[in-house]
């Protein structure tokens, strides 16, 4: 079931982040990191790849400004979700970051060649992670996203 962190929902200028992650500890860490962004952040959590796709294909909400995908999720992997996203013109411009506990070079190559903007190995260096995400968001909004 997709859930939204309600505390910042609906504030003017809110940035929407879709986080597809099945590990509760990683969800909490990523939520903490995103709260440091200078604009309000609404975090939508999908617990598997299928939930992420279903959320994105539902037309009754605004699309996310950033998508974070765990590579190893149930139902659909992050790489499978990435393929679906990057084959749909409405999602092409949304920055997408792959998250994984695996340091396998083939996962990194598949992610970046598949259209991901970044590939981050968990557990993350909190400071580097937030800097990377904030830079992606800043570029996205500077380009009119």
pLDDT in tens, 30-45: 888 888 888 888 999 9
Ordered strands of the 3-4 beta sheet: 3-4, 41-46, 15-20, 66-70, 96-100, 118-121
Q: Are 97 and 89 in contact (CB under 8 A)?
A: no
pTM: 0.85
The pLDDT of residue 5 is above 70: no
Band of residue 7 on the pLDDT scale cut at 50, 70, 90: very low
Q: What stretch of H or E contains 25?
A: helix 24-34
Tokens of 132: 């990377």
pLDDT in tens, 85-137: 999 998 988 999 999 887 889 999 999 999 999 998 877 677 888 888 888 88
Domains defined for the chain, CATH in brackets: 3-142 (3.40.50.2300)
Longest dimension (CA), the chain: 40
User: How would you class 35 by CB atoms within 10 Å of its CB: exposed for 0-12, middle for 13-18, buried for 19 or more?
Assistant: middle
Tokens of 99: 């998250």
């Amino acid at each position: 079931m997709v859930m939204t962190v309600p505390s910042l929902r609906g504030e003017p200028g809110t940035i929407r982040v879709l986080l597809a992650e099945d590990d509760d500890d990683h969800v909490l860490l990523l939520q903490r990191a995103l709260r440091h962004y200078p604009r309000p952040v609404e975090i939508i959590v999908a617990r598997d790849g299928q939930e992420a796709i279903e959320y994105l294909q539902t037309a009754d909400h605004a699309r996310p400004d950033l998508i974070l995908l765990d590579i190893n999720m149930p139902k659909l992997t992050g790489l499978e979700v990435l393929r679906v996203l990057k084959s749909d013109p409405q999602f092409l411009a949304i920055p997408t970051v792959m998250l994984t506990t695996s340091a396998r070079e083939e996962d990194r190559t598949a992610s970046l060649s598949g259209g991901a903007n970044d590939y981050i190995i968990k557990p993350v260096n909190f400071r580097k992670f937030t800097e990377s995400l904030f830079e992606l968001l800043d570029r996205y909004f500077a380009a009119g996203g």
